[in-house]
Structure 1
Amino acid sequence: MKGAKAEEASMGMLETGFTTTDCLQEVEIGKKLQGKCLRIVSPESPAKLYGCYAVIMVLTVAVITLSVTLSVKPSIESPGSYYATCPRNWIGFGSKCFYFSEDMRNWTFSQTSCMAQEAHLALFESLEELNFLKRYKGNSDHWIGLHRESPEHPWRWTDNTEYNNLVLTRGGGEYAYLNESGIRSARDYTHKKWICSKSNRYTLQCPEILNPG
């Protein structure tokens, strides 16, 4: 009986030993699988991390670029379209402002009145300006800035530059005015309305949004 029990105990120990070995083998297999998993996952994890870094860098650069773009103010010197902003009761045309009087005085008083407004009796530099003055003045005669010492002398503007005779001045007077037909001349004592002109110092620049240039 004792021999049989010992044999059974030995067999039990053998079975227990076999089972333990199997467990050890399974542990080893698990370690190997874990190593394989680590080897598989490890190369991917840095790649994903680097990808995140790259995305963050791209977003950072985009934010900085946008901030710089928004912080830059348009320069006053940048090209654009110019629009006249003349004082009250003055009319803008091109780069000038014009004032058409309602009173009637002689040429000398008219020039003095224009000078008091930091202007002078009107001068024109092109047919477009002349046509504008003729059209806007209506039917009344208006003094302009042409004058001469005598019929033998050339016509000059109030800034003392010589008139280029773009349009001929008719009549025998020393002071020019505009009427319905063109430019005429008369004596200083004649009373007429007048036109003042001055360079537009209030010109504003508006950017051409639709034309990036």
Structure 2
Amino acid sequence: MLSCTSSSQKDSDCLGKLNKHHAVCALVLAVLLALVVALSVALAVQSAGSRAAGAALPGAPVPSCASDWVGYRNMCYYVSAREGNWTWSQAQCSGHGASLAMLQEEWEMEFLQLIKGDLDCWVGVRRQGEHLERVDGSNFTFSSLVHGKADCVYLIDNSVASSGCSLHRPYICSKPQAV
């Protein structure tokens, strides 16, 4: 610490030493302040750069369905109000890259009962000899739930039934969600 209490020093000498001391302190403070500002700017630039790089990276693809289709559990469903026979209905679904809904899981039957409303809709199950088969050729494991012994299957009210394939009904298509 600088002190000017000696009687041998002149007042002007003492003031000169104090001014030099204050100038050095001011210079040190200015350098420290400049370093703090520079570090702050560097951190801000680095942070902005990492956010921008993160924004530029592609995210995981989001599955989606066409606007008139309903998405549920990675599947897209379309309930048509148009009516046709079972074969025509399957052809309509194929035109959309889909098939008649195949009722693969119990939750799917429950879900389709909800979205079809009051319509009795064709689904992608058909009798092949003594057993029921999905349009992809797999065995329909819920055969005991189907009322009737006709060839083509449709959803009615809260159950599954069969009728002649030439009857005209609305239909339900399904396909995996696009990515």
What's 2:60 paired with?
A: 77
d(CA) in 2 for partners of 1:150 and 1:113?
Answer: 25
1:33–1:135 Cα change, 3 Å: closer
- Aligned 1:48-197 pairs, distance under 5 A: 48-71=29-52, 72-73=54-55, 75-77=58-60, 85-151=64-130, 153=131, 155-165=132-142, 168-197=145-174
Amino acid at match of 2:153: A
Query: Rg bigger for which structure?
Result: 1
Q: CA RMSD in A?
A: 3.0
| Conserved? CA contact 2:85–2:169, under 8 Å | yes
d(CA) in 1 for partners of 2:158 and 2:44?
Answer: 66
Deviation at 1:43, TM superposition (A): 4.6
Aligned pair count reads: 169
Identity of aligned pairs, percent? 23
Amino acid at match of 1:76: G
Deviation at 1:38, TM superposition (A): 5.7
d(CA) in 1 for partners of 2:37 and 2:143?
Answer: 69
d(CA) in 2 for partners of 1:103 and 1:57?
Answer: 69
Amino acid at match of 1:170: H
Deviation at 1:182, TM superposition (A): 0.8
d(CA) in 2 for partners of 1:181 and 1:45?
Answer: 86
Amino acid at match of 1:103: R
d(CA) in 1 for partners of 2:80 and 2:110?
Answer: 18
What's 1:210 paired with?
A: none
Deviation at 1:166, TM superposition (A): 8.3
What's 1:13 paired with?
A: none
Unaligned 5+ runs, structure 1: 1-27, 203-213
d(CA) in 2 for partners of 1:66 and 1:35?
Answer: 47
Q: Which TM-score applies when normalising by structure 2? A: 0.75
Q: Which TM-score applies when normalising by structure 1? A: 0.65
Equivalent position SS for 1:183:
strand
| Conserved? CA contact 2:103–2:123, under 8 Å | no
Deviations 1:28-58 (A, max 9, x none): 8467436633663365244213312322222
d(CA) in 2 for partners of 1:158 and 1:109?
Answer: 13
Unaligned 5+ runs, structure 2: 1-8
1:49–1:149 Cα change, 3 Å: same
